[in-house]
Structure 1
């Protein structure tokens, strides 16, 4: 039996899905880790990016923080954090992935608010809007395409990278791959391939669902800005 047939057999065995530590358990772990990391990234990156953009300061800080977090490999954090008081398991994985999620979230939040036309801001101030009202009623609604694009990019990247959780016994679908390598490619090559396919399919599913959500939350007049934001978010994630 070749490795593709073995992978197909592995995926079609109901016990591999339902047994403790099976695919469904690992999928649940994968989603919890990914969601937790993106949520932490959102709590840090969006308020900081929006506040700096609204105040008109901090462009250099955004570039510095984005470059700094991108320069730290996720695998390096997963090596270092378990040696600290954090220990092994899910916590170091979530922290490392949250750091990985911050650059696209931060850069797009800042860019989304700063791209609002100066004349639009002046007109809103002329109508008597306070700084907070300007942010809530003008800048944030117009920044939606950028916020959505950053969220989509960060989420898909995190979902794909969560497979590394297996390095620190953090669970997730990567654990299926790690267990396969532990048995040896000659014995469990199909399991390794199946694990890789599951991670890839989950990332593609996340991309599709979030692309649809991004389109739904973006008003039709702002969709050209959405396409531009998508291109910039991809560039940020690949930097």
Structure 2
């Protein structure tokens, strides 16, 4: 993109500075070749659009890093063309054949979770934990509790009740054990989706917290043998629609988290 075109799109000096640095890192003559410019855009879009839809972004992030390393190593346009072609060839089938949907795996519950007594649940959690949850939710009357039986025992889901057009709420997941309830996961914003993939015998989980009409904060969790830990997070950002009316989204600000070893 030329400086003039960029100036028409934004008056943010930091954006123009970043764009200039990105152009400088490309081999000489890249921006003068329309085919290379198009493939550069296509490769970058596929990287971050595919990251947004794969079920294991913590692994796919490594794929993107390797692809970017190959692109950055190019010193001439011929090498860059090959590197971009490799990215497009590898990611196009993945992106085009993916049909993302909200995960509804059965790894935690063998049936639907049912409402249970909030007072009873709080008594099992203990006074200190119960008071902390009540403070977070704004009072005992705004707490909900559900339980289910699953392949790994009885699960307790505690959440702050949502009101009006609210779509996010803190949630807590506990598993019943011989010594009482064990905290498995605490998230600031739900809902929690159960994925089909597993780690250390438990299903992977994800959350999607709406930040605005066109942006959601996605987070992914894996079980380390004792509790769930965040392994990756990113912002899913809407960027419009294609010619067929399909909404287009990309992942930005990817943040690797804990390194969880699956045994």
Please state which band the TM-score falls in when normalised by the shorter chain.
Answer: under 0.3
Scaled by the length of structure 1, the TM-score of the pair is 0.26
| Structure with greater strand percent | 2
Who wins on radius of gyration, i.e. which is larger? 2
Scaled by the length of structure 2, the TM-score of the pair is 0.24
